[in-house]
A and B are shown apart, each in its own frame.
Chain A
Amino acid sequence: MTSTPPVDDANRADGPPVEEPLFEVQRPFYLRRRFLHAFIPPFALTVVGLVALLVSGLLVMVEPVPAPVVTLEGKMGTNADFFDDEQVQAILLRHHLRVHVTNMGSIEAATTNLDSIDFVFPSGEYAVKLLTQRLADEGRPRFTPLRPFVSSIVLATYRDYAKTLEEGGLAEPHPGQGVDPLYYDLDIEAFIGLFDSKTSWNQLRDGRPGPDNGNQVLAQTTDMCRSNGGAAYLALAAFVVRGAPTTDQEVIALADEIAPLLRAQGEPVSNPEIYFNEEGRGKVSIIILYEHQYLAHQLRRRLDHRELDTDKVLLYPDVGLQTGPEFVPLTLNGQRLGELFATVPELRERATQLGFRVLDGSDGELARYLTEQGVPVPDPDIETKVTLPRTDLLTKMIKAVGECRGVG
């Protein structure tokens, strides 16, 4: 460096008078071209980088977070529909809560690992009882559970299948629905009888127009070993065939008797929402669902200013089974979320809009909302209500019929 003085055009052009060169040579280093050549590019980038840092930092800071948002971990089955809803998420966010859902069968949710889970929201009584028992066994602190709404077990199908059942004398439309009824009452005992006599859809149709389908007439379900819906249909079918069992012996006999009905579908349905797709017919002809799933589908259509989906219809078994989902907090944060159900009317309103029957004494809220949206109101004629067997007996029956591995 010392042997090579800075090369400068001006310096070289000028003569070497005594004073002036000093001035030239001692020009501040930061003004020298070479320095500037070397310095400006990295400096500019630094500024850009700092600005980027600042902006991104500012962006984070301008997010509307006056109080910290707490994220809750929840495990549940079909009730995930509720927390997946954008409006529900927005309401919760206003209360500084965010819910991260792990969606699985309710029975699975109740029986698998609950580490760092704030609440479980099983879809029906059986899974709730399994969970409650487990929590007691593990000596966990108790928080107040909540039953915000109920839904019914229904058989969802397509119009031509319902029509075939109607012509076969098994189903009857709810009164006052016009030409394209959405809701039917189903003689569930006769329906199960069709399976016992190995009747296929083509045989039931007996040459009339309708679905060309050689499969036996039966209802498909989710996995009874894992989900409340599958287990509920087992309980319903058992009740129809013999009434609720009260002893181990009755469970064994009953399991043998109804296993073919429940197992003839082979693999259970792992994606029940497929029913609402055009491709649903490629997977199911009748599937066990909750009423709210169907109503939510029709309400969504109406809110999008579309016609009702008249190809999809519900069969209400005349032996009814209502399921009460229960919100079970496992932590204080979970408890806090549960309390919102009671204190925030918007949440209950939204539940109604999602097809749930809200349990807050305001009976008829769902009917009112359906009417408002132009969705017919179901009016099932339920003759009997299913009595669920004792939890331990139902567990035995599920395991025997479903040949469950592991959970349940």
Chain B
Amino acid sequence: MPGRRMMRGPVRLAVLWVAVAVLAACVATPREAVTLRVLASSELADMAPLLADLRAETGVELVLDLQGTVDASSALTSGDYRYDLAWLSSDRYFQLGLRRSGYTGPNPLRTTTMLSSVAVGVTRATAQRLHGDGGSVSWADLADQAAAGELRFAMGDSRHTGDGLAALVGVATAAAGTGRALRLEDVTCDRVRGFLTGRQLTADTSPRLIDDFVAHRGELDALVTYESVLLSLNDSGRLAEPLEIIYPADGTVQSDYPLLLFDPAKRAAYDRVVEWLRSAPVQQRIMEQTWRRSIDPDVPRPARLQVAAGNALYFPDEPDVIDRLLANYDAVAARPSAHVIFLLDFSGSMRGRRAAMLRQAFADLAGAGDPAFVRFHQGERFTVIRFGGRVLEEREFTVGTSADLAVLDDLVATESYDSHTAVWSTVDHAYDLAATITAAEGHPPVSVVLITDGISNTGLTADDFLRSHPAADPTVPLFAIRLGDADTAELTRVATATGGRIIDADRDSLLAALKEIRGCS
């Protein structure tokens, strides 16, 4: 016992001396150890191995709190910065949040660290189908296939993840087709609904999305996320067959992974981190280990990163636009699409040119034309009524197979016309039908679309209709598409009373008008 005690003293002494020596060495080096708390995008979990080296080489330890980028941005926007830094795939949502909040203070210091664009990874079979005509693939192609039930994909939740929101903005911008950043008036939910029909799986964070995708890969055709995440997944050995990466030709959204400084007192450590991350050897390793692209033009790209990631898509800078987009996104998720009752005037005057227009418009909606954002999508329900002096034919459709759409084709192709036009009796009938539909399970919203070229000459008058539907049910708007000689004043009066409106249409605009009113309200 006493002997052991004797040995302890020297050990203690030795430890003390070592401590003194280490302390001395620490004081002598300028690189003191610092720990920084960082709010980071969830996909940056893959930086962990590099961060160990960062710590070893600079003395700065980054402790990442991982969240979906949109969630992280909202947490920062609240102004209560509990973090020293933020490291986000993009600070665009954060900037939008500052705009929304009316914040007038200085911006946090930002430094771009690496790059990746949101792309679409597809199975080989899907790639072959999409590239069928040999051309490039657009968001329009993807939306078209999704609406037709031929593209089932996984995508991050746009309310929580940066890639999910970027993809939603991408689809909506491409659908608006203005070639500029989305404005409020460009955001209509019918344009994203078709695309979102194909979204079979979603998640709040990137790692979760990948795990779920891998677990359900047999039921899915595609995965929408960052190029870097797709390439890493291909490398991981978790997929039997790698995904082919598609950069939609109508534009992609690039992320530049800024490191943002929130606590100015941590500037020296921030500078060390930034200098290390941006150095050529580290940029090289970032590319090799995470497949994010270097911000340094002189660092050679591995072969798989030598492909161009497509054109940029202008990203909106108005918070209202994003809010409306997300509101539509919620509406699509929460509610069934509107059940539209189409009332097609089959009186004699429609014969010929006007009937041909009608058929063309319906063929396009059924997906016969060029790939489009607006077409009947899987599960969508609608009713078509042909009328003359009375209801000639009435049919309800639920889009499932191409056979269903063939029946629709036959219906509008009918060459049998009536000599009378009972506009308001037919509208009255449609409103009775609407009441039945609205009362059904899920209370789907209903709208009535009347396409006519004539003046009502039999049955109820407009006033009769308005009397029997006092202040007509405001939840069922009537949209009157006027062709040729129809009575503008009367149509306007009734449409307005129902919360709908009148739209003049000619050959080019009939389809546009139909697209416009097949909204999500």
Which residues of chain A are near B419, meaning CB under 8 Å? Answer: none
User: Does any Cβ of A come within 8 Å of B179's Cβ?
Assistant: yes
| Contact call A285/B311, Cβ cutoff below 8 A | yes
Knowing A270-B110, A281-B311, say if A48 contacts B14 (CB, 8 Å).
no
B157 to chain A, nearest CB (A): 21
Interface residue from A34, A48, A49, A264 paired with B181 (Cβ < 8 Å) = A264
User: Does any Cβ of B come within 8 Å of A102's Cβ?
Assistant: yes
Q: Which of B41-49, B69-77, B314-322, B405-413 contacts A (4 or more CB under 8 A)?
A: B314-322
Which residues of chain A are near B313, meaning CB under 8 Å? Answer: 215
| Contact call A282/B308, Cβ cutoff below 8 A | yes
User: Does any Cβ of B come within 8 Å of A38's Cβ?
Assistant: yes
Q: Chain A: which residue is nearest B296 at the CB level?
A: A277
Which residues of chain A are near B308, meaning CB under 8 Å? Answer: 278, 281-282
Interface mask (B13-45 → A, CB under 8 Å = 1, otherwise 0): 110111011101100110000000000000000
| Contact call B317/A215, Cβ cutoff below 8 A | no
A140 to chain B, nearest CB (A): 19
User: Does any Cβ of B come within 8 Å of A362's Cβ?
Assistant: no
User: Does any Cβ of A come within 8 Å of B6's Cβ?
Assistant: yes
Q: Chain B: which residue is nearest A57 at the CB level?
A: B28
Knowing A212-B136, A405-B104, say if A266 contacts B317 (CB, 8 Å).
yes
Name B318-371 residues within 8 Å CB distance of A.
Answer: none
| Contact call B252/A104, Cβ cutoff below 8 A | no
Q: Which of B94-102, B142-150, B200-208, B438-446 contacts A (4 or more CB under 8 A)?
A: B94-102
| Contact call B115/A263, Cβ cutoff below 8 A | no
A2 to chain B, nearest CB (A): 12
Interface residue from B10, B179, B254, B258 paired with A42 (Cβ < 8 Å) = B10
| Contact call A270/B91, Cβ cutoff below 8 A | yes
How far apart are the CA atoms of A49 and B306 in the complex, in Å? 51
Which residues of chain B are near A103, meaning CB under 8 Å? Answer: 109
Which residues of chain B are near A226, meaning CB under 8 Å? Answer: 107
| Contact call B21/A267, Cβ cutoff below 8 A | no
Which residues of chain B are near A263, meaning CB under 8 Å? Answer: 181, 317
A364 to chain B, nearest CB (A): 30
How far apart are the CA atoms of A268 and B99 in the complex, in Å? 13
| Number of A residues with CB within 8 Å of any CB on chain B | 57
Which residues of chain B are near A273, meaning CB under 8 Å? Answer: 295
Knowing A45-B21, A215-B311, A266-B180, say if A405 contacts B98 (CB, 8 Å).
yes
B101 to chain A, nearest CB (A): 9
| Contact call B316/A266, Cβ cutoff below 8 A | yes
How far apart are the CA atoms of A7 and B306 in the complex, in Å? 77
Q: With contacts A53-B28, A282-B308 known, what are 18 further pairs, Cβ within 8 A? A: A41-B10, A42-B14, A45-B14, A45-B17, A52-B24, A104-B107, A215-B179, A215-B313, A216-B180, A263-B317, A270-B91, A278-B293, A281-B312, A282-B115, A283-B254, A406-B105, A407-B104, A407-B106
Residues of B near any A CB (own CB < 8 A):
2, 6-7, 9-10, 13-14, 16-18, 20-22, 24-25, 28-29, 91-92, 95, 98-99, 102-107, 109-110, 112, 115, 117, 136, 174, 177-182, 249-252, 254, 256, 258, 293-298, 301, 306, 308-317
Interchain residue pairs with CB less than 8 A apart (15): A38-B10, A41-B14, A56-B29, A59-B28, A103-B109, A112-B106, A214-B179, A214-B311, A215-B251, A265-B180, A266-B180, A277-B115, A279-B254, A281-B308, A282-B308
Residues of A near any B CB (own CB < 8 A):
4, 34, 37-39, 41-42, 45-46, 48-50, 52-53, 56-57, 59-60, 102-104, 108, 112-113, 198, 200, 211-216, 218, 226, 263-268, 270-271, 273-274, 276-279, 281-285, 304, 405-407
